[in-house]
Structure 1
Amino acid sequence: MLSNFLYSLNLAGRPLLTACICLDCYLAVVHPITYLSKKSLTPRLLLAAAVWTVTVIQGTLAIIFEELIHSIWAMSVYVIALPVIVICDASILWTLKKSYCGGRDLHPKKKALQIITNSMVMTVISYVPPVLVYIIGKVTISDGKEFECFLAIPILTTPTAGSAIMPLLYLGNLGSLKCLRVWCASHMLTKKLPPLQSFLVQVSKRASHVARQQYDVIVVGGGHAGTEAAAAAARVGAQTLLVSQKIHTIGALSCNPSLGGVGKGQLVKEIDALDGVCGRAGDWAGIHFSILNRSKGPAVWGPRAQLDRQRYREFIQSELLSTPRLTVLEGSVEELLVTEPNPEEPGQHRVTGIRLANESHPISASSVILTTGTFLSGSLFMGQTTSPGGRIGDAPSSAGLSHTLRERLGLRTGRLRTGTPPRIVKDSVDLSQAQLHPPDSHSTPFSFLNTHTRCKPEEQLPCYLTYTTPAVERVVKESLHLNCHIQQDTKGPRYCPSIESRVLRFPGRSHRVWLEPEGMTSDLLYPQGLSMTMPPDVQLRLIREIPAMHRAEIHTPGYGVQYDFVCPTQLSPALQVKSTQGLFLAGQINGTTGYEEAAAQGLWAGVNAARWALSMPAVALSRTESYIGVLIDDLVSRGVTEPYRMFTSRAEFRTTLRPDNADLRLTLKGFEEVGCVSSFRYQKAVRVRDSLQDALAALQSLALSPSIWRKKMPDIPMSETKNTVPTGMDILQYNDVSFETMASAFPECLSPYMEFSQRLKIEAVYRPHSEQQRKEIERIQREENMSLPQDIDYLSLPVSLSQEVREILDRVRPSTLGAATRLQGITPAAVVHLLNYVRHTGQKERRPHRYRTDQREDLEPRARSTSLPR
């Protein structure tokens, strides 16, 4: 009787609960955000109770009716459980079949196979032992009582215990510990153990975290800078902790759901070349891809994508949760722990860790990266209403953090502002009255690992363009007295101004308003160009004065944010605070604006924070090799007076710093010198480099007379009287000649390189310019690579310098002579005196740096409009 009861429990309980867990795996893989935000104890409790009740009833019936046919019951269980298991497994594979084509060690398809393997193993464990025990026992032991006492009960007790504890573990995945709210899904995705065992592993990890409280790097903030910093530090090899106020907001697109643009797209390509996350996330979540500035040369093209907010956040969170050596913790940082200056090193504090709110024990670390974004003493503005916060619905960072930076560390801080437009209900807008702006017919991925984007061009959503009217200007001017945000003199982003600022600065003009979708299934539109902070009722009145939005409804009103930032001249090129060892800053806390600028800083701060913690020397990127180098050099050398945004015009050598060659510029260095690039990406970059070199050599070897070229390619606009012997590189420089055309004329030597056709065309076009710029870079390096001693006393320097120049140099303390030339207020005569002083002291150091910058303003709205139909 007892064996019948235990056998029945195993026959029903384990398969049904395995089906429940497979369903959980399906939700965790296909809908992770929904899984994390919507799950609760109640449905799981009801489901587990139902399974347990059914198994107990069946076991009781097996005792009462010993002649009960177990095969019929087993078949019923199979009919219920197996289809659920198979359908969930197939759905997981089908969903991730369309995933990005990355090559990381933890590829989503590998995760899916792990999940399916786990579920199948659990299925086998559920069915095979009871069946084998029952069949073998009945065959080998003829005495029923002997079978009952000596074989059935001992063997069936173990799987029965599993059936009894499985509901508890199933429900235990909803524990209240902070980390466990998200980690159960991540471990289902990444671990090679069954999901329930992964839960127990995470419990032990959490216990280890509480006991140890020691990391190499701690990243404060889960925005674009924080996520890139945490991932980069972990890739370098540091044990990293990412602390965010709300885990489900990690990777959230707080403002515009887009990535890239003029100058910004180059940053995304460089971040990806260094194995960053945002490029692949953009390829996964993009719903509208386009190249801006196509009317100009490829060097200043701006790759851009409109994103699905939920997909982007899902990808970022999944990527972080599957990154080795990276732990995510939900909490608010109450205090930054620093030691007092060492008497032997005057002015040098040292960071030792952080303290969380409502936590008594500190968390120690060798390096701390602050990526607080707009949350550092943040204030929200809407009309005449002001409230603390860095984003609507979220609290600001602790006042203790700001106090530590200003009072204990003595850092100079300032105040900046930004804003976001209202979100519009899509169904309330008449899009037929707006100008259609479709995506490009061919989507260009951000990531060098991807050959295509997740969303095909024919599946992508269009954007729409409309314009403001004189009535909009009238509404703005009539409501200025109701807008306390616009009345303040805090500087906002110059190239993304509010509609109030536009009207006041350019009265009588019409302004563009882009209506952009927020997701494939979202019912909201993002009206780019309508950032505003007026009262909600006035916002609605203004919106309805714009064509296509006469009946528009506002889902979420726009608002403004003011926040503290740290003057970035107090940082080293590694983004470490000069006066505090181990403290790094990245993102809007450094006075920048934009996702891409924040992500670039975060990646480089993460790299150097990890290297500092691991006792490795800092690394730097020069202005001559990357836009990231331009960004960091501008910040630490010149500082900011308004939110800094990247443009191609800020780079002196932009024909060399193209988006198509970012992998050749940075991936090899990222692997060989920095240590933040995976071997897979490095091997692919090496293959690309070797193939391009072979292709360029093949083109250069095609040295033929003009008559032969005209015979092979009749459409070449070349004179046969030309005296020189053109090569394939020379011919490819013609606008009307493509690599495909040349490959068809010379298939034997060029056809193997068809996959690099566009890159070879760009290389040919820019070859003369690249050679000229290479010589210019070498000349600049020879003339301006002298380092300035860091212990130099500018206030008493025995050279002819004005007091103003002395104070500027003493405050900023530039590391090179080239950096000194770019400081506002430094005269050419002062540079000459410094040069003579350095030569006299004999302290020289070769270091690449910037020469001169052209501050031309490449406005993205103007670039976007170049592809609009007239």
Structure 2
Amino acid sequence: MLTKKLPRLQSFLLPVSRHVGHLARQQYDVIVVGGGHAGTEAAAAAARVGAETLLVTQKIHTVGALSCNPSLGGVGKGHLVKEIDALDGLCGRAGDWAGIHFSILNRRKGPAVWGPRAQLDRQRYREFIQSELLSTPRLTVLEGSVEELLVTEPNPEEPGRHRVTGIHLANDSHPISASSVVLTTGTFLSGSLFMGQTTSPGGRIGDAPSSAGMSHTLRERLGLRIGRLRTGTPPRIVKDSVDLSLAQLHPPDSHPMPFSFLNAHTRCKPEEQLPCYLIYTTPGVEKVVRESLHLNCHIEEDTKGPRYCPSIESRVLRFPGRKHQVWLEPEGVTSDLLYPQGLSMTMPPDVQLRLIREIPALHRAEIHTPGYGVQYDFVCPTQLSPALQVKSTQGLFLAGQINGTTGYEEAAAQGLWAGANAARWALFMPAVALSRTESYIGVLIDDLVSRGVTEPYRMFTSRAEFRTSLRPDNADLRLTLKGFKEVGCVSSLRYQEAVRVRNSLQDALAALQALALSTAIWRKKLPGISISETKNTILTGMDLLQYKDVSFEMMASVFPECLSKYMEFSRRLKIEAVYKPHCDLNKKEIERIQREENMSLSPDIDYLSLPVSLSREVREILDRVRPSTLGAATRLEGVTPAAVVNLFNYVRFTGRKERKTHGNQVDQKEEIEEELCARNASLPQ
């Protein structure tokens, strides 16, 4: 692994002063609006691709701020962070710099669904992002508020197709023109803040919402379908007022695992990490929630909130009588505040204090900042292309919560992809797309543009059909080379490192494959291992490494001449060996479908009662459209690659059985179902 020193952060006063005030130019290739996770990744990616880029944000000192939870990663979300890093994004390296508590979630399952996660120091994270942006070539950061998005009227030759031309800042008579614009407005698009029965305009406490002109342009001039979503944040609690002796201690991992493929270690040493604490709600909490519902206008609204990170009011109403987990998470090395993950609330401040004091560990707690709710506009993402460009408006790209997602990681992933494609559009290069079969970012974007959202979208490993191939450990092998050659957003340094890793892993896997010995010999060389095969069975090193009690270190100690030089990849080689059979099967299924695109689908197929594992949504789509070929089915919105695999297997097996002249129909159907079930048997996670 490349051991790259974590950066020494520069002073921000001089760089910031160069970017505030009068601009040296009034025209850019790309303008990014918003300095959150989506905006920072979009601006950096556009500049890396080669576009002259302008990032416009209301306040430069809040660029890169962790506005809600001070953490990064998790199950599904950690995959996104690793993929963003593989494409040379910022958040993975920022997490390694700012992390103060590292852990791998979901360890009880296989490495494919492990969730790399870190608690972050808010100040360190913000400083890292600002330092990176303000030193990025071809990137200018401007403090200002966007008053209006500038677009042309539709071209008569292309009815309904507008074209973006730039932006207009508040209190500035001169427009700033650009070939493409990326909107990453987060919760600021017509944002409203809620606390008790008080409502005020804003996208985050202390910040104003985006201008009414922006919403008017999207809704009225461009005719986009706009929806409304809500989210919330918990109160921040003074750490010294909490009785941590009444909470369950949860220490971090003893060996912090970095997010970035460029880092061999994190900034935070193992002994410097801070713990988290677990507490539970009580019946008193539920009592306070129910007694104060009439004082809470946010929770009474019909606007959809996040299903997987709901407010304590929503949890009490949905699951009455239950104890709910609350995690007390540190906000920084020098911070005197704790973040109570799981206690998002929007009741009046005095009621919030009553509620938290119903929990034993918080019986004397003091609130530093009350929790509040936010409601905001989002653009229905089915109006976007896979490049995240608005279909009806040339050069306009959207990323983050404006597309109906929730979470830093989902926003950052969209931002990187939108920024790269916005730069390619401005530089007259074709758009690029990511497939569901090659990345979680591809799954995220495909879900958004093909299915849309009815509630804030969150990434889970269960959303990826081929998750045994899309693991956190191999994101660099899947994406870095593509990011360099096809997208242009990856530096030569990272590309060279990815090539070195790929070549070394290939050589190591070949060396393991070349070690072909009988089980009897393996038992002699590695006494104590449990091999079920007979003594005359020939096993390669790859075969043996798939056994749970066999490690690469054990094999390298026996064959140092051919394996010891690959010790830095021992963990990755073990994972590769375990998942190789399943990845090979996935690859064959994908290639087979690509070869069989012209396979005819009978018009008589009863899709609603197919004996295969298809969701009702997919069955209804197929039944309604009735595609004539397998290729046509792959291009239907909402039909996933996994569904196509099952459909392909059904058609192929059915055709094979129908060619037989004997056997009754019932036995034939049962045989098909049995064979398909065998093929679709659960793989290791």
Matches within 5 A, 1:411-450: 411-450=224-263
Of all paired residues, the percent bearing the same amino acid is: 83
Q: Distance in 1 between matches of 2:535 and 2:586?
A: 27
Q: Distance in 2 between matches of 1:102 and 1:362?
A: 42
Are residues 1:307 and 2:115 paired?
A: no
Matches within 5 A, 1:291-440: 291-440=104-253
Q: Deviations over 1:247-278 (max 9, x none)?
A: 00000001000000000000000000000000
Q: CA deviation at 1:778?
A: 1.8
Q: Which has a greater percent of helix?
A: 1
Q: Distance in 1 between matches of 2:148 and 2:54?
A: 16
| Bigger CA radius of gyration | 1
Q: Distance in 2 between matches of 1:465 and 1:558?
A: 19
**1:517 counterpart residue number:** 330
Q: Deviations over 1:561-606 (max 9, x none)?
A: 0000000000000000000000000000000000000000000000
**1:829 counterpart residue number:** 623
**1:742 counterpart residue number:** 555
Q: Distance in 1 between matches of 2:400 and 2:627?
A: 36
Distance 1:500 1:821, change over 3 A: closer
Are residues 1:850 and 2:680 paired?
A: no
Q: Distance in 1 between matches of 2:256 and 2:507?
A: 27
With structure 2 as the length reference, what TM-score do the two structures score? 0.88
Q: CA deviation at 1:547?
A: 1.9
8 Å CA contact retained: 1:781, 1:849: no
Amino acid at match of 1:507: P
**2:286 counterpart residue number:** 473
Q: CA deviation at 1:852?
A: 3.4
Distance 1:456 1:853, change over 3 A: farther
Q: CA deviation at 1:776?
A: 1.7
Q: Deviations over 1:313-361 (max 9, x none)?
A: 0000000000000000000000000000000111100000000000000
8 Å CA contact retained: 2:618, 2:643: no
8 Å CA contact retained: 1:649, 1:853: no
**1:128 counterpart residue number:** none
Are residues 1:772 and 2:602 paired?
A: no
More relative contact order, 1 or 2 (CA 8 Å, 6+ apart): 2
Are residues 1:608 and 2:415 paired?
A: no
Amino acid at match of 2:222: L
8 Å CA contact retained: 2:120, 2:331: yes
Distance 1:503 1:249, change over 3 A: same
**1:184 counterpart residue number:** 14
**2:594 counterpart residue number:** 781
Q: CA deviation at 1:827?
A: 3.4
Q: Deviations over 1:181-236 (max 9, x none)?
A: x66146xxxxxxxxxxxx8xx59x976x34x3000000000000000000000000
Q: Distance in 1 between matches of 2:384 and 2:365?
A: 46
Amino acid at match of 1:247: I
Q: Deviations over 1:383-405 (max 9, x none)?
A: 00000000000000000000000
Q: CA deviation at 1:555?
A: 0.2
Q: CA deviation at 1:306?
A: 0.2
Matches within 5 A, 1:689-728: 689-719=502-532, 721-728=534-541
Count of aligned pairs: 630
Counterpart of 1:572 (choices 368, 379, 385) is 385
Q: Which moved more, 1:258-267 or 1:697-706?
A: 697-706
Q: Distance in 1 between matches of 2:291 and 2:329?
A: 28
Matches within 5 A, 1:150-229: 184-185=14-15, 202=18, 209-210=23-24, 212-229=25-42
8 Å CA contact retained: 1:821, 1:828: no
Q: Distance in 1 between matches of 2:321 and 2:405?
A: 30
Q: CA deviation at 1:708?
A: 1.3
Q: Distance in 2 between matches of 1:720 and 1:319?
A: 54
Amino acid at match of 2:49: V
Q: CA deviation at 1:850?
A: 2.7
Amino acid at match of 2:297: C
Q: CA deviation at 1:780?
A: 3.5
Q: Deviations over 1:658-704 (max 9, x none)?
A: 00000000000000111000000000000000000010001001101
Show structure 2 runs of 5+ residues with no match.
605-613, 646-685
Q: CA deviation at 1:783?
A: 5.0
Counterpart of 1:645 (choices 454, 458, 474) is 458
Are residues 1:623 and 2:623 paired?
A: no
Counterpart of 2:568 (choices 731, 755, 764) is 755
8 Å CA contact retained: 1:705, 1:726: yes
Q: Distance in 2 between matches of 1:719 and 1:463?
A: 43
Are residues 1:250 and 2:63 paired?
A: yes
Distance 1:557 1:698, change over 3 A: same
Amino acid at match of 2:224: L
Q: Distance in 2 between matches of 1:592 and 1:554?
A: 29
Q: Distance in 2 between matches of 1:564 and 1:272?
A: 29
Q: Distance in 2 between matches of 1:837 and 1:314?
A: 48
Amino acid at match of 1:279: G
8 Å CA contact retained: 1:637, 1:823: no
Counterpart of 1:656 (choices 458, 469, 473) is 469
Aligned residue for 2:375, secondary structure, equals strand
With structure 1 as the length reference, what TM-score do the two structures score? 0.70
Counterpart of 1:453 (choices 254, 266, 272) is 266
Distance 1:822 1:616, change over 3 A: farther
Q: CA deviation at 1:832?
A: 2.4
Q: Distance in 2 between matches of 1:292 and 1:737?
A: 23
Q: Distance in 1 between matches of 2:70 and 2:408?
A: 10
Q: Deviations over 1:808-831 (max 9, x none)?
A: xxxxxxxxxxxx999779432333
Distance 1:697 1:418, change over 3 A: same
Q: Distance in 2 between matches of 1:668 and 1:782?
A: 25
Q: CA deviation at 1:833?
A: 4.2
Aligned residue for 1:564, secondary structure, equals strand
Matches within 5 A, 1:277-288: 277-288=90-101
Q: Deviations over 1:716-746 (max 9, x none)?
A: 2125734421010011111011111111111
Matches within 5 A, 1:486-635: 486-635=299-448
8 Å CA contact retained: 1:738, 1:761: yes
Q: CA deviation at 1:102?
A: 4.0
Q: Distance in 1 between matches of 2:532 and 2:615?
A: 48
Distance 1:732 1:609, change over 3 A: same
Q: CA deviation at 1:423?
A: 0.1
8 Å CA contact retained: 1:266, 1:627: yes
8 Å CA contact retained: 1:650, 1:853: no
Q: Distance in 2 between matches of 1:679 and 1:785?
A: 40
Amino acid at match of 2:285: V
RMSD: 2.5
Q: Distance in 2 between matches of 1:452 and 1:785?
A: 49
Q: Distance in 2 between matches of 1:784 and 1:648?
A: 28
Aligned residue for 1:303, secondary structure, equals strand
Q: Distance in 2 between matches of 1:303 and 1:722?
A: 40
**1:144 counterpart residue number:** none
Amino acid at match of 1:851: A
**1:464 counterpart residue number:** 277
8 Å CA contact retained: 1:244, 1:250: yes
Aligned residue for 1:375, secondary structure, equals coil
Aligned residue for 1:253, secondary structure, equals coil
8 Å CA contact retained: 1:219, 1:240: yes
8 Å CA contact retained: 1:221, 1:370: yes
8 Å CA contact retained: 2:357, 2:364: yes
